[in-house]
Amino acid sequence: MIDDNRRTSFDRNAALYDAARPSYDLRAIDVIRELGPRVLEIGAGTGKATELLARVGLHVTAVEPGATMAAALRAKDLPRVRVVEARFEDVVEHDYDTVVAAQAWHWMDPAKKYVLAAAAAPHLVLLYNIADFELSLRAELDAVYAAHWVGDAARLQPVVDHRAKYETEIRDSGVFAPPRIHDFAWTQRYTTQQYLDLIATYSDHAVLPQANRDALFAAIAAIIDRAGGEVVIPYATLAFVARRLG
């Protein structure tokens, strides 16, 4: 079941989301460009992926349910981009080359999303930026999460877990063939404050009880400060590329 409080937390933090969230590896955008010029992007947010899709000349219908995030995306006035403020599940769109979801597919209705995507386009591409923490840093972070986290959401899942989750989900959808998976490695440098701003945009962090959130963020800040006030995070941009069956 989708947690609506978490899902809507992004819209409450739209400005911070746009400032703090990283973009996507351009090699993943090239994969999408090869599939055709017409893209239906769902859960577009403030346009972290939309900007790149527009930059390479694609025609994008960007569907975003959050009013604040949709407004931020419209304000960018991107060429060849039409913004639709709606839930993907409530939009009837057809005749696209590719449905793209960047960091958003898990927020769509699991009972409907694959069938709707298959009706809209012959290709589905899921993009996810996954932090692949160095082992000693992961151990330190795991310890402070264990001390201050509440709820049952797993934190700091490794890339291999995300890869297996969506590979299996797409394969079992019944409407898309097993995906080709591209894995593009890159790194991002964060100051202490930049990293805290980043995790403040994560939905499960945004809804933490204030006392737990304050303690967790203070502990994470202490870890980064001890490392010199900066941390370099290795990332993988995973691109799951699936073709519609039939």
The kind and range of the H/E element at 187 are strand 180-191
- Assess contact for 224 and 231: CB atoms under 8 A: yes
Q: Is the model more confident about 12 or about 115?
A: 115
29: which DSSP letter? H
Length of the chain: 246
Which position has the token pair 């930059």?
Answer: 55
- Walk me through the domains of the chain, giving residue ranges and CATH numbers: 4-132+153-187+234-243 (3.40.50.150)
What percent of the chain clears pLDDT 90, i.e. is strictly above it? 80
Give residue 155's pLDDT. 62
Of 43-47, 115-119, 139-143, where does mean pLDDT reach its minimum?
139-143
Q: Which amino acid is at 71?
A: A
Give the pLDDT band of residue 115 (cuts 50, 70, 90).
Answer: very high
Spatial distance between the Cα atoms of 201 and 174, rounded to a whole number of angstroms: 33
Strand residues in the chain grouped as ranges (E): 38-42, 59-63, 81-84, 98-102, 123-131, 180-191, 230-243
The helix-helix angle for 192-200 and 210-226 (nearest 10°) equals 150
Spatial distance between the Cα atoms of 3 and 14, rounded to a whole number of angstroms: 18
Give residue 11's pLDDT. 79
Contact partners, residue 240, CB within 8 Å, separation at least 6: 124, 125, 126, 166, 167, 170, 179, 180, 181
3-state secondary structure of 77: coil
Residue 203's closest CA among 75, 31, 39, 45?
45
- Assess contact for 235 and 188: CB atoms under 8 A: yes
Tell me the pLDDT tens digit for each residue of 42-101.
Answer: 999 999 999 999 999 999 999 999 999 999 999 999 999 999 999 999 998 899 999 999
Give residue 154's pLDDT. 53
47: alpha, beta or left, given left = phi > 0 and alpha = psi -120 to 50? left
Predicted TM-score (pTM) of this structure = 0.93
Q: Which amino acid is at 6?
A: R
